[in-house]
Structure 1
Amino acid sequence: MPTTHRSARLTRRTGWRALGGALLAAPALARHGHGQSRLEDVTLITDFGFNGRHSYFYLALEKGFYREAGFNVSILRGQGSADAIRRVAAGNATLGFADAGALLLARGNDQVPVKLSAIIYASPPQALFALQERGLAAPASLAGRTLADTAFSSVRLLFGAYARAAGIDPASVTWVTAESATLPSLLANGRVDAIGQFTVGQPLLEAVTAPRPLTRFAYRDVGLDFYGNGLIATENTLATRPDLVRALTAATLKGLREAIANPEEAGAIMHRAHRQVQPAVAAGETRLVGELASVPGQPLGAIDPARVASTVRVMSDAFTLRSPVAPDELFVPGLVG
């Protein structure tokens, strides 16, 4: 489902650095009796709920990749990227999964000291979905139609950039505000012409609208170039525990690599962890994560400074920022590879 991109105000801006790393002071491996190793407890938080698109975290957990790196990992349910960023900043999670646009808002509006350590969605995940029977075959056919999404969805906030790239007037559509959980039914029941959704959510949406096929309008298909979700950590953790972040990131990317190679296995693992997530849906979402994550000629998860700069330009035009954010404020280089 789309992620809500409203950065909650952080009323106490002092002490973030100390708080963000206070729970992370122990070494990754503390030796104790008979040469055994004690695993360091760490937490990861998702962007939104537990969905098939998160299968690689659970594959890394089940296959012992985190344990091999020296960590006992707990995975927390996020309530949106802004929530994940806030909880990482507060020291309630070691590593988070959040949208670059939400991170830009958090830094520009609340000076939240959190940065990206790796990119997972290396292409824009935003999209619009319509039932094929509605006759929307090209972006131009969206003119005069009614679209639905949550109030602060990045799909909705970035629609102006999509419309301009597609050659249509952003004002030619009507937006309806709805709760995230109601969007699939609004589409299936024909109450709106299209809804905002991340591309990785297509299998879940298809399960609701089956057997009627969908038409997808992906923002990346009109040439938009910006980053989506990635792994995040506090500046304090990145500065004082770079080996911890590097090891956690590497174990996560190992899980991602195996999940992309075998999405059916990843889907089955996700289903075992969360029975409400159907294996076929999780496998489908994992395949779509692979489409977003894979960049020819680059290591999985690598951050390209030029693409970060492009992300800042696109997001700064779409969002309201109290303070400008420089590209190098959003990420730390050299943690992937």
Structure 2
Amino acid sequence: MRLRRSVVALTAVLGLALVSACNSGDDKGSDEGLQKISYLTSFGQFGREAYAYVALEKGYFKDAGFDVKISPGSGTVDVMKQVAGGQADYGIGDFTAIAITLGKQKLPVTTVGMIHQKSLAAIVSLEGLGIKDAKDLEGKNIGDQPGSTNQVTFPVYAQRVGIDDKKVSFVGAPPPTLPQLLSSGKVQGIGQFVVGVPLVEKADDKHRKAVVLSYGKVLPELYGNAILTRTDLAKEKPDQVKKFTTALLKGLDDAIKDPAGAAEILKKYVPTTDVTVATEELKLMTPFSKPDNAGDPLGAVDPERVQKVLDLLSTASAIQPAGALKPADVVTVDLAPKG
């Protein structure tokens, strides 16, 4: 009788253990064993950022071993500071703004690949607001997020087009409010990526056409957005960095091949997304992301071109003293995608 009771008790214990194990597995779900990674977009959750959500939705991050949390960034400088401080593992920022910032303060961050092979930065206005070309910017008010790519890089652009950047006033405003601020006429221009034109025009109830002053047209040397991470992560976990970058760029590849599909995925995660606007943004972004050299993969970095960018910034006095930064100070070339 005592033996029978022992067997029954043991069976009950094993049964409870099995149930507990099953419940534990259910709680962790399919993310069990994945490494948690935090990621910041460059600027809000606009269509141009959809590639990260594509990588998430299609399982590219999971296949690489990561459980990725995507949060909206608020401009290059802020993204750099959050990555440097450990609040995020990876982020996106404009390469020129990154270099300028690193020339002023030694943040422990590095870039490991390019999202855009050409700069998307621009000042965007609307017809009738007094801005037709760069010469019209002097004496105008430009709305922008403090520390944004457009604002940090503006002095370099101003020097190239021959205007005094100190005669242009930047008015601080959160990214989502910029199109409405412009439409109301409270500012005559806003800092915006060229892909943001559909959003700007949609927000204008007078249906005016956008006037776009593209930095990239007068500064073709410049890269656009780059992938950021901490320098210690790049040194100590290079395999992780490569896997994450590869997964993210797979999302980018899908997004530029199927902009409408990427926009729908973005809407799933960001319900306020206007699919039509997001689709147009991605279409406009495509030529900026593809390397000029057909043999180079998405995300490729050319060290010689990086040096040219640094030389340009030194000449424009955006980095002082001249030669203060070397390519290795701003990019870890060995971790960038290669053909």
Q: TM-score, normalised by structure 2?
A: 0.79
2:286 counterpart letter in structure 1:
G
Q: Which structure has the larger Rg over C-alpha atoms?
A: 2
Residue in 2 that maps onto 1:308? 306
Residue in 2 that maps onto 1:332? 332
Q: Secondary structure at the match of 2:333?
A: coil
**Counterpart contact for 2:77–2:148, Cα < 8 Å:** no
Residue in 1 that maps onto 2:202? 207
The answer to whether structure 1 residue 273 and structure 2 residue 246 are counterparts is: no
CA distance in 2, matches of 1:217, 1:118: 26
Residue in 2 that maps onto 1:108? 103
**How do residues 72-83 of structure 1 correspond to structure 2 at under 5 angstroms?**
72-83=67-78
**Counterpart contact for 1:105–1:321, Cα < 8 Å:** no
Q: Do the aligned partners of residues 52 and 70 (structure 1) sit closer, same or farther apart at CA in structure 2, a change above 3 Å counting?
A: same
Q: Do the aligned partners of residues 318 and 55 (structure 1) sit closer, same or farther apart at CA in structure 2, a change above 3 Å counting?
A: farther
**How do residues 1-337 of structure 1 correspond to structure 2 at under 5 angstroms?**
38-134=33-129, 136-142=131-137, 145-166=140-161, 168-170=162-164, 174-181=168-175, 182-209=177-204, 211-297=207-293, 298-316=296-314, 317=316, 319=318, 324-335=324-335, 336-337=337-338
Q: Do the aligned partners of residues 42 and 180 (structure 1) sit closer, same or farther apart at CA in structure 2, a change above 3 Å counting?
A: closer
Q: Do the aligned partners of residues 109 and 193 (structure 1) sit closer, same or farther apart at CA in structure 2, a change above 3 Å counting?
A: closer
Aligned length: 301
- Structure 1 stretch displaced more, 151-160 or 122-131: 151-160
CA distance in 1, matches of 2:155, 2:71: 33
Q: Secondary structure at the match of 2:91?
A: strand
CA distance in 2, matches of 1:97, 1:149: 18
1:94 counterpart letter in structure 2:
D
Structure 2 unaligned segments of length 5 or more: list them: 1-30
CA distance in 1, matches of 2:60, 2:165: 48
1:149 shift after superposition: 3.4
Cα deviation, 1:14-50, whole Å, max 9, x if unaligned, reads xxxxxxxxxxxxxxxxxxxxxx983222221222332
The alignment-based identity, stated in percent, is 31
**RMSD across aligned C-alpha pairs, in angstroms?**
2.7
CA distance in 2, matches of 1:171, 1:230: 25
**Counterpart contact for 2:156–2:313, Cα < 8 Å:** no
Q: Do the aligned partners of residues 91 and 135 (structure 1) sit closer, same or farther apart at CA in structure 2, a change above 3 Å counting?
A: closer
1:157 shift after superposition: 4.0
1:306 counterpart letter in structure 2:
E
**Counterpart contact for 1:146–1:173, Cα < 8 Å:** no
Q: Do the aligned partners of residues 165 and 109 (structure 1) sit closer, same or farther apart at CA in structure 2, a change above 3 Å counting?
A: closer
Structure 1 unaligned segments of length 5 or more: list them: 1-35
Structure number with higher helix proportion: 2
